[in-house]
């Protein structure tokens, strides 16, 4: 009888250990479940666009390093990302800090700072937060899965930065005097892959986008 009681006690102890382990595992799994808030966010790449004519040595978005942007360049590299709600709401803001070559000459550690409200955006599964550096130290930001120059990019004035310069005579003559001035339809075409564009690219753009055809006919 003592042996049977000892065996029962041992079995009870083992069962208690298994039960505690199961409960602990259940708690860990529950804690590992992603919060519902994360499921309502989208992750966007941060990309810089420089229309200012002054190189951007460094810029930050919400204090996260986002790289640098050459003169009349951008959209080529991604150094950080940002999470935004899937559904836009008023009051969404980001803080942009940057240092261009002009500020660097005055203060190598100095930074400009702008707090900007993000304009409305539609449904996106992925895309970019575009940070556009404009003349006179102005900044614009857009959340979009389309790039500058695409017909559905939020700001039609912000085309590819190099094309932005090339179609403006003063900028073209100062920075790219030997470069070919693109046709108007090219700067808004998502089908342009080469420079100069091939005739096949032009025909494909005209075929798929009547709006591009209208642009190409404007004086």
> Residue 47's pLDDT is what?
93
User: What DSSP element (H or E) covers 43?
Assistant: strand 41-50
SS3 113: strand
Higher-pLDDT residue of 209 and 164 is 164
Task: Name the nearest CA neighbour of 53 among 69, 68, 67, 72.
Answer: 72
pTM score, whole prediction: 0.75
Q: Mean pLDDT in the chain?
A: 81
Given a contact cutoff of 8 angstroms between Cβ atoms, the answer to whether 131 and 96 are in contact is yes
- Residue written as tokens 């449904």? 123
> Residue 173's pLDDT is what?
95
User: Which residue blocks in the chain are alpha helix, DSSP H?
Assistant: 2-32, 36-39, 101-106, 161-166, 169-175, 184-187, 199-208, 210-217
Tell me the average pLDDT across 52-73.
Answer: 93
Residues 169, 170, 171, 174, Cα dihedral to 10°: 120
Confidence of residue 147 (pLDDT cuts 50, 70, 90): confident
SS3 106: helix
> Residue 152's pLDDT is what?
87
- E strands, 51-191, are 56-61, 64-65, 81-85, 93-100, 112-117, 128-134, 138-144
> Residue 218's pLDDT is what?
61
Among the ranges given (111-125, 139-153, 179-193), the one the predictor scored with the smallest mean pLDDT = 179-193
d(CA 132, CA 158): 8
Give Cβ neighbours of residue 159 (< 8 Å, ≥ 6 apart): 148, 149, 187, 188
Q: Is the pLDDT of residue 37 over 60?
A: no
Q: How many C-beta neighbours within 10 Å does residue 187 have?
A: 19
d(CA 95, CA 64): 10
Q: Is the pLDDT of residue 78 over 50?
A: yes
Higher-pLDDT residue of 23 and 104 is 104
> Residue 199's pLDDT is what?
86
Tell me the average pLDDT across 162-171.
Answer: 93
Task: Name the nearest CA neighbour of 47 among 85, 8, 73, 15.
Answer: 73
Residue 81, preceding peptide bond in cis (omega within 30° of 0)? no
């Amino acid at each position: 009888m003592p042996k049977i009681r000892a065996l029962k006690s041992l079995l009870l102890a083992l069962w208690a250990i298994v039960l505690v382990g199961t409960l602990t595992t259940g708690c860990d799994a529950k804690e590992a479940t992603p919060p519902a808030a994360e499921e309502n966010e989208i992750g966007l790449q941060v990309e810089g666009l420089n229309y200012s004519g002054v190189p951007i040595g460094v810029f930050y978005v919400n204090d996260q390093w986002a790289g640098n942007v050459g003169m009349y360049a951008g959209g080529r590299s991604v150094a950080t990302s940002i999470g935004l709600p899937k559904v836009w709401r008023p009051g969404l803001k980001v803080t942009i800090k940057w240092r261009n070559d002009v500020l660097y000459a005055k203060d190598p550690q100095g930074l400009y700072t702008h707090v900007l409200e993000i304009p409305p955006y539609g449904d996106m599964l992925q895309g970019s937060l575009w940070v556009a550096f404009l003349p006179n130290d102005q900044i614009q930001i857009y959340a979009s899965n389309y790039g500058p120059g695409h017909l559905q990019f939020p700001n039609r004035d912000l085309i590819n930065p190099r094309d932005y310069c090339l179609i403006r005579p003063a900028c073209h003559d100062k920075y790219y005097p030997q470069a070919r001035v693109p046709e108007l339809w090219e700067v808004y075409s998502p089908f342009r892959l080469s420079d100069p564009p091939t005739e096949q690219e032009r025909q494909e753009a005209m075929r798929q986008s009547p709006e591009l055809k209208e642009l190409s006919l404007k004086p």
